[in-house]
Structure 1
Amino acid sequence: MSASLPQGFPQPTDTNVIEVKEYPQYRAVTYTHTGDSRMATRAAFNPLYQHISSNQIAMTTPVEARYVKEGKQTEVSFLYSTPDMTPQKIDSRVMVRDTSPMMVVSIGIQGAYSWESYEQNLQKLKEWLAQHPEYEVVSPPRRLLYNSPMTPEDLKRSEVQIEIRLK
């Protein structure tokens, strides 16, 4: 990882491991992309980068992509290092939002950030959930992307996650 994790974030899940993790409250700047979810992170990069640059906010890892309406609406976020950071300027193309603490089931991935990889690993999480009826899904899936575009494809790390709670 080339940047630090937000305060209190757990380490990335190991490759091909499925685990339940807890995340603290965090603050992020978010761009909502309407259209093909495969293009969301690319479309979001410039508005998000301009926001952190104009507010002199350090880049953290991971970048978060929430698939609100899979294939049609995606929220892409750059996470702030602490939940109390307050930007001075907010462009109309982005919004700052707080996310409450959450529990997720997560699978660690190494390799290209392809849509096929996302779908295959999401299916593995759904199969895991079918075998663990003590949990219920709380919200749509998300993806955490840990590396810069300059990282070789085969070395990139990511996670697919589904927010859950005990029934």
Structure 2
Amino acid sequence: MPTSLPEGFPEPTQAGVIEIKYYPAYRGVTYSHSGDLTQATKAAFNPLFQHISSNNIAMTTPVEARYQDASRAEVSFLYSSPQISPQQVQSDVQVLDTEAMMVVSIGIQGAYTWESYETHLQKLQSWLQQNPQYQAVDSPRRLFYNSPMTPESLKYSEVQIPIQKVS
């Protein structure tokens, strides 16, 4: 990876592997997108990049996309530390803190297509059905680790579902 992970983030899950992971609390700048979810990350890039550039905030990986429902997504550039406070925040983005979480994750190598996301999300949903000691507690998300200039076959991402143990 050409850029660093936020403080305390685990390494990416290996391609094809499903695992449980823990993430610390983190902060990032978020763009909300309504409409075609396949266009969310493209629509978010310029406002998010403008924010980190104008505030002199270093780029980290991954870029996070949270799919709230069938027509709404939140895309975030994550700060390297939850202590970073930007000097200015444009009206089309917001700075959000995310609480620590446990997720079930699957690693993916290949193009960042919507079909790949849906296929891997189904694998995680099947995993949850086979592991009833866990339940989903929030919307699925996808983590993107590579720049647009990375060849499609070398791109790396993860699909994750926030979970908790069933008591």
- With normalisation by structure 1, the TM-score equals 0.99
- The residue aligned with 1:115 is 114
Pairwise CA distance, 1:146: 0.2
Partner secondary structure for residue 129 of structure 1: helix
Pairwise CA distance, 1:2: 1.3
For 2:67, the aligned partner's letter is Y
- The residue aligned with 1:155 is 154
Partner secondary structure for residue 90 of structure 1: coil
Pairwise CA distance, 1:55: 0.1
For 1:38, the aligned partner's letter is T
**Offset from partner CA, 1:78-98 (integer Å, 9 cap, x none):** 000000100000000000000
- The residue aligned with 1:10 is 10
> Equivalents in 2 of 1:44, 1:119: separation in Å?
20
For 1:62, the aligned partner's letter is P
The percentage of aligned residue pairs carrying the same residue is: 66
Partner secondary structure for residue 147 of structure 1: coil
Unpaired segments of 5 or more residues in structure 1? none
- The residue aligned with 1:135 is 134
For 1:162, the aligned partner's letter is I
> Equivalents in 2 of 1:136, 1:61: separation in Å?
27
Once the two structures are superposed, the pairs formed by residues 39-50 of structure 1 within 5 Å of their partners are 39-50=39-50
Once the two structures are superposed, the pairs formed by residues 1-167 of structure 1 within 5 Å of their partners are 1-70=1-70, 72-167=71-166
> Equivalents in 1 of 2:4, 2:37: separation in Å?
26
- With normalisation by structure 2, the TM-score equals 0.99
> Equivalents in 1 of 2:69, 2:131: separation in Å?
25
> Equivalents in 1 of 2:155, 2:2: separation in Å?
11
Unpaired segments of 5 or more residues in structure 2? none
Partner secondary structure for residue 60 of structure 1: coil
Partner secondary structure for residue 149 of structure 2: coil
**Offset from partner CA, 1:8-50 (integer Å, 9 cap, x none):** 0000000000000000000000000000000000000000000
For 2:54, the aligned partner's letter is S
> Equivalents in 2 of 1:138, 1:29: separation in Å?
22
Poorly superposed stretches of 4+, deviation over 3 Å: none
**Offset from partner CA, 1:113-160 (integer Å, 9 cap, x none):** 000000000000000000000001100100000000000000000000
> Equivalents in 2 of 1:136, 1:28: separation in Å?
26
Alignment RMSD: 0.4
For 2:134, the aligned partner's letter is Y
Size of the aligned set, in residue pairs, is 166
For 1:113, the aligned partner's letter is Y
> Equivalents in 2 of 1:51, 1:127: separation in Å?
38
